[in-house]
Amino acid sequence: MRKQKTFYITTPIYYVNDVPHIGHAYTTIAADVLARYKRLRGYETFFLTGTDEHGQKVQQAAVKQGLDPQAHADRMVTAFKELWKRLTISNSDFVRTTEDRHKWIVQYVLRELKDRNLLYQAAYEGWYCLPDERFWAGNEVVDGKCPECGRPVEHISESNYFFKMSAYRDRLIQHIRKHPGFIQPESRRNEVLGFLDRPLEDLCISRPRARLSWGIPFPFDPDYVTYVWVDALVNYISVPGYGSDDRRFKKWWPADIHLVGKDILTTHAVYWSTLLMALGLDLPKTLFAHGWWTVNGEKMSKSLGNVVDPNAMAAEYGTDAFRYFLLREVPFGQDGDFSKQAMTGRYNSELANDLGNLFSRTLTMIEKYSGGAVPKPHPKAVKADDRRMAARAGKLYKSVGGEMDRFAFHRALLEIWTLVDSANRYVEQNAPWDLAKDPKKRPRLDTVLYHLAETIRILAIYLFPFMPTTAQRMITEIGSTAQLDHALKPWDYQWGKLKPARAVQKGRPLFPRMEAPATIPKQETVASATLSKEIRMESTQTEPSLITIDDFRKLELRVGRVVTAEKVAGADKLLKLSVDIGTETRQIVAGIAKKYIPEELIGKSVILIANLKPAVIRGIESRGMILAAGDKEVEALATFIEPVQPGLRVK
RNA sequence: GGCGGCGUAGCUCAGUGGUAGAGCAGGAGAAUCAUAAUCUCUUGGCCGGGGGUUCAAGUCCCUCCGCCGCUACCA
């Protein structure tokens, strides 16, 4: 008997310091798509996700809320579990690092490392910021101050356990060179190799209990808890049975793929790989680092208040449409931008118009012209056009499979859409409404309608990993009894398997068209973007990055009208402006000369911070500041949609 | 600073040394089964600048400009 093919896929376990956002959703959805795809193709699949619950930040967050760390973690875990349910995530298990089954194995791993003589005790030295309870590397410290809070740091030395990571540097480099697919995408692989070009140091894997108690105790030294990364990474082997169930562990390890965000690639590529080497275990077959999402072109952050809530998106667009967008919009591995405009654009044109409408028109025609049952095709009425459709559908098995196996989700969807597009063209070219007018053309009409129905059945199979609910609906409404959350037989993918004569059941549109979001007036985005930038600067000082309305009120923002503008001699970026703010005319120096020529600014309304401390720039006094969008270079001045009086308060 | 990558249509990007492409957006038309959804045709490029190799360069080499990523022990 042939051995059952297996597939083991993981997401990172998510740190419970944060509520789930689009980044968490992205990784997990991608993993779910792969898991469903593999199951459909007959692989026994183990799909693991979970939560990482120990460590300093969790402890701090819990203390802040007056909670026990475990209680805090319990609360956060619910948010993740509920989100995965809502996003139809089909994980096989959900691990929490606070569970005994995991803690136990982490201790087993530590003992194993100790027995193999791979641990030693030494002093960990570094600059420590006491209020932040955080270490900083020498090059991160700015003038002896903490780069995060600006308070002085002290050089301290504490005893810790170190893992002899440095010993594995060469082996790891060799492994990465020998297995080009180990780290993907290739650019990330190069980064890791670049990282390994430099000396690799040993890894400090303990924390003194006196400083941090929320962690897994060292089994052989009660004064220490385990460094969270070691704790967390071990989940990939603790759950499938390392140290507890050899047979099960052999079945699943090495993992086929660890899916991670690009921010945690190094920890996986280096810490995890060397730990596995130390334990004498195989490395995972693939480590794939995907990109990050920005929102409306901006970095997502709490202080900007633009964090995308996956729950809200699923509620607004539907889970399947949200899943589709995330995987279709951006080549997997690259960064992407999320915006409601882009989301709605793809939703309407690809899901509602192309796919949803194809489905709708097909079912309607079967109802109208065929009494509501899938007609039987007539062999003699089959034409070249039909054979082309069947051939196109047949090609998807390989082409979609190839792209999926390369983790090129957007290309897999493009492949699937070639069939959607062909089907819409097929409808136009064969015009069933014309065939229906002539009873003699009945065989041809039946054949055309069957081909459309069968195309939909096949589309549903390929769409299932991406949009499970929609795909199953398509299958059911077209009159098939197939269940897509099970492995299909190879012949199920073949043309002609849809049984005729079954009644179709047309339901609500798959994807009702949506109103495009009103385009955000440019000025509005600009103003808020620039404002937030100011706020961001301040907010890095304090722990909760939100400001209160009172903080905001400290800014005296006023409408100004530019009266004169001239270049500042000897400075290529500066303009000297005089700005009418109603009660007076202010002289302001602004760094906008690369973008605007002085003449075109005269008469323009701008937003001015009126209570900014005056500054002297290039010997010219500047009393205030005008708002503009841009990071390093100014891209646009903030102004107003309606004409406004100078001096008016902006709030 | 070091290492790596990118710069092609309004936007997002594809492009093995051999006549510059797709999707979206824009323009024109056809059709009426369909969620006004579809289908056909179409406008639009000093391929970042300069230099070189070659019969031939978006593609190879050099250089400049611009943008981005990595540069570990908080997760």
Q: Residue A332: is its pLDDT beyond 60?
A: yes
Phi, psi of A649 (to 5 degrees): -75, 140
* Protein CA at A188 to nucleotide C1' at B70, angstroms: 9
What token pair was written down for A610? 């009126």
Q: Count of CB atoms within 10 A of residue A245's CB?
A: 11
Comparison of pLDDT for A637 and A514, the residue scoring more: A514
Query: Most distant CA pair in chain A: distance in Å?
Result: 92
What token pair was written down for A437? 């007018």
Comparison of pLDDT for A496 and A518, the residue scoring more: A496
Q: Residue A594: is its pLDDT beyond 80?
A: no
Nearest nucleotide to A200 (CA to C1') is B72
What token pair was written down for A406? 């390369």
Mean pLDDT, residues A28-50? 96
* Protein CA at A331 to nucleotide C1' at B47, angstroms: 22
Size of chain A, expressed as the number of residues it contains? 651
- The C-alpha atoms of residue A246 and residue A269 are separated, in whole angstroms, by 25
For residue A550, the model assigns a pLDDT of 47
Please confirm whether the linkage preceding A512 is cis (ω < 30° from 0).
Answer: no
Nearest nucleotide to A204 (CA to C1') is B73
- The C-alpha atoms of residue A45 and residue A484 are separated, in whole angstroms, by 15
Q: Report pLDDT digits (tens) over A387-407.
A: 999 999 999 999 999 999 999
The highest-confidence range among A168-177, A335-344, A629-638, by mean pLDDT, is A168-177
Contact at 8 Å (CB) between A385 and A426? yes
Nearest nucleotide to A230 (CA to C1') is B73
Nearest nucleotide to A134 (CA to C1') is B74
Q: Report pLDDT digits (tens) over A95-106.
A: 999 999 999 999
Specify the pairing of strand A634-637 against strand A605-609: unpaired
* Protein CA at A291 to nucleotide C1' at B34, angstroms: 38
Q: Which helix (H) or strand (E) holds A402?
A: helix A384-405
Mean pLDDT, residues A597-619? 70
Specify the pairing of strand A336-338 against strand A628-630: unpaired
The highest-confidence range among A234-238, A550-554, A579-583, A616-620, by mean pLDDT, is A234-238
Q: Which helix (H) or strand (E) holds A587?
A: strand A585-590
Residue A395 β-bridge partners: none
Q: Report pLDDT digits (tens) over A275-318.
A: 999 999 999 999 999 998 988 888 777 777 788 899 999 999 99
Mean pLDDT, residues A221-243? 96
Encode A535-556: b = buried (16+ Cβ within 10 Å), e = exposed: bbeebeeeeebebeeeeeeeee
* Protein CA at A444 to nucleotide C1' at B32, angstroms: 20
Comparison of pLDDT for A585 and A489, the residue scoring more: A489
Specify the pairing of strand A257-261 against strand A287-290: parallel
Q: Report pLDDT digits (tens) over A454-494.
A: 999 999 999 999 999 999 999 999 999 999 988 888 788 88
> Which residue is the nearest neighbor of B30, CA to C1'?
A428
For residue A588, the model assigns a pLDDT of 76
Nearest nucleotide to A329 (CA to C1') is B12
* Protein CA at A353 to nucleotide C1' at B38, angstroms: 8
What token pair was written down for A500? 């005729």
- The C-alpha atoms of residue A109 and residue A220 are separated, in whole angstroms, by 12
For residue A526, the model assigns a pLDDT of 29
* Protein CA at A423 to nucleotide C1' at B3, angstroms: 49
Nearest nucleotide to A417 (CA to C1') is B23
- The C-alpha atoms of residue A101 and residue A384 are separated, in whole angstroms, by 60
C-alpha distances out from residue A208 to A14, A130, A215, A216, A228, Å:
24, 15, 10, 11, 12
* Protein CA at A463 to nucleotide C1' at B15, angstroms: 28
Contact at 8 Å (CB) between A579 and A608? yes
Write the CB contacts of A112 (distance below 8 Å, at least 6 apart in sequence): A243, A279
* Protein CA at A414 to nucleotide C1' at B18, angstroms: 29
- Predicted ipTM beyond 0.90: yes
* Protein CA at A303 to nucleotide C1' at B6, angstroms: 30
Least confident window among A37-46, A192-201, A627-636? A627-636
> Which residue is the nearest neighbor of B32, CA to C1'?
A433
- The C-alpha atoms of residue A149 and residue A129 are separated, in whole angstroms, by 9
Mean pLDDT, residues A172-187? 92
- The C-alpha atoms of residue A149 and residue A203 are separated, in whole angstroms, by 26
3-state helix, strand, coil in chain A (%, to 5): 45, 20, 35
- The C-alpha atoms of residue A650 and residue A588 are separated, in whole angstroms, by 18
Nearest nucleotide to A433 (CA to C1') is B33
Q: Which helix (H) or strand (E) holds A51?
A: strand A44-52
The highest-confidence range among A414-428, A501-515, A533-547, by mean pLDDT, is A414-428
Strand B bases within 7 angstroms of protein beta carbons: 2-5, 13-14, 24-25, 31-40, 67-75
What token pair was written down for A310? 């996956």
> Which residue is the nearest neighbor of B11, CA to C1'?
A342
